[in-house]
């Protein structure tokens, strides 16, 4: 079992996901935010955005948690209020407190709030999915650069930390996950306690006292099966997917979905250089995956019609012994591999931009 604390502490300290299993690769896997504008957030706040969301994978454990009512709140300073999502039918656009009930494939199932001066929010929920996100949001802080340090405890046992800032973010964190002792059907009590504060302006500094202004908002969200997720209305007219900057670069292969069936797998053969740049540009929501010789390398779920799809890249130098995909160690540089793009639930065309290259060379197949 890997402790949740490792993940949360790492993100709380750096605001970025951990390096994961590709630590030996000089250029780690990076997710490129192609075709998406970034609008006016302060740099310090943006750096902390990932710290306001953490992923938990719940696993079966040797003991059962105490029987508490779902959505209930234990007494804590400031008399926090808690709301549990009680309506089973999904409704697009509905909010629970300040949080969107549905966002990026997750559904908020319980929220709590309390004054920052109370330093604590506690709530319970009954586990329906083993893929869980925590979100925090602290509006009304004295300054937009202030970040609250907070500790998360499950059934009273400290399991990690997560910052809280004055901007609301519900973007799921990267797919690294940790295990805690809980199973579907268990009722879990989670406590979010403020332990300190930082001023992130400039180089940043720890504050001597914790601000008393503002409100603590804390939420638990669970993964929703794709076919149960409330998608936004389909636009009357949809633009066909078009290549972005990568698609115009030499060496990039562009693969289009089958005109008759967008969910039919499409494969090509191309030389392998141990590294890759893969991007899927979809017209519609769906689950998209890219595999190399049957090994999944990129997978992502799309829940809107924006044209933003999953993407990832990883490079190694020609003379390095590292591998971006350990399962393909037996493939020699320059050997041809089969790259397959698959889609599920797609209702419109998509294209994929595929490239394999060394970090220090423009040599491509």
Same domain, 170 and 86: yes
Indicate the DSSP class of residue 91.
-
Between residues 336 and 315, the one the model is more confident about: 336
Rounded Cα gap, residues 268 and 72, in angstroms: 53
Same domain, 274 and 219: no
pTM (two decimals): 0.71
Check whether 9 has a pLDDT greater than 80: no
| pLDDT of 324 | 80
Tokens 């012994």: give the residue. Answer: 321
For residue 16, give Cα distances in angstroms to 30, 49, 243, 362: 11, 9, 28, 29
Q: Which of 31-45, 196-210, 213-227, 318-332 has the lowest mean pLDDT?
A: 31-45
| pLDDT of 181 | 65
- Cβ-count burial of 131 within 10 angstroms (0-12 exposed, 13-18 middle, 19+ buried)? middle
**Looking at the domain assignment, is residue 320 inside a domain?**
yes
**Looking at the domain assignment, is residue 324 inside a domain?**
yes
**Looking at the domain assignment, is residue 87 inside a domain?**
yes
Rounded Cα gap, residues 6 and 278, in angstroms: 29
Q: How confident is the model at residue 315 (pLDDT cuts 50, 70, 90)?
A: confident
Query: Cβ neighbours of residue 338 under 8 Å, at least 6 residues apart?
Result: 267, 268, 269, 292, 293, 294
Three-state DSSP at 157 gives strand
Same domain, 274 and 223: no
Q: What CATH number is attached to the domain comprising 340?
A: 2.60.120
Same domain, 185 and 38: yes
Structural contact between residues 140 and 146, judged by C-beta atoms closer than 8 angstroms: no
Q: Tell me the two tokens of residue 30.
A: 């990076």
| pLDDT of 54 | 54
Check whether 52 has a pLDDT greater than 60: no
Please give the residue range of the domain that contains residue 267: 245-355
**Looking at the domain assignment, is residue 37 inside a domain?**
yes
Short-list 253, 362, 357, CA closest to 313 = 357
- The count of C-alpha atoms lying within 13 angstroms of the C-alpha of 140, restricted to the half-sphere facing its C-beta, is 11
């Amino acid at each position: 079992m890997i402790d949740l604390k490792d993940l949360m502490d790492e993100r709380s300290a750096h605001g970025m996901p951990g390096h994961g299993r590709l630590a030996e690769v000089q250029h780690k896997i990076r997710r490129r935010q192609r075709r998406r504008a970034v609008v006016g957030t302060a740099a310090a706040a943006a750096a902390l955005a990932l710290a306001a969301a953490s992923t938990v994978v719940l696993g079966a454990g040797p003991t059962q948690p105490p029987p508490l009512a779902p959505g209930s709140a234990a007494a804590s300073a400031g008399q926090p209020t808690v709301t549990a999502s009680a309506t089973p039918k999904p409704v697009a656009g509905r909010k629970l407190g300040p949080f969107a009930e549905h966002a990026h494939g997750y559904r908020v199932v319980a929220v709590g709030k309390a004054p920052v001066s109370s330093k604590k929010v506690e709530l319970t929920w009954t586990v329906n999915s083993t893929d869980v996100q925590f979100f925090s949001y602290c509006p009304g802080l004295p300054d937009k650069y202030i970040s609250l340090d907070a500790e998360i405890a499950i059934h009273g046992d400290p399991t990690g930390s997560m910052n809280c800032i004055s901007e609301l973010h519900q973007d799921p964190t990267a797919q690294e996950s940790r295990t805690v002792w809980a199973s579907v059907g268990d009722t879990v009590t989670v406590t979010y306690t403020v332990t300190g504060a930082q001023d992130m302006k400039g180089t940043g500094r720890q504050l001597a006292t914790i601000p008393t202004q503002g409100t603590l908002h804390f939420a638990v969200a669970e993964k929703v099966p794709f076919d149960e997720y409330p998608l936004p209305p389909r636009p009357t007219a949809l633009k066909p997917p078009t290549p972005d900057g990568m698609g115009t670069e030499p060496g990039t292969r562009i693969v289009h979905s089958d005109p008759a069936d967008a969910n039919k797998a499409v494969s090509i053969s191309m030389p392998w250089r141990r590294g890759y740049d893969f991007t899927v540009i979809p017209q519609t929501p769906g689950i998209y995956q890219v595999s190399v010789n049957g090994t999944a390398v990129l997978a992502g779920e799309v829940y809107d019609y924006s044209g933003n799809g999953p993407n990832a890249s990883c490079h190694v130098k020609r003379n390095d012994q590292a591998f971006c995909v350990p399962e393909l160690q037996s493939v020699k540089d320059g050997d041809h591999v089969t790259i397959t793009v698959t889609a599920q639930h797609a209702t419109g065309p998509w294209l994929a931009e595929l490239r394999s290259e060394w970090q220090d060379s423009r040599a491509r197949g």
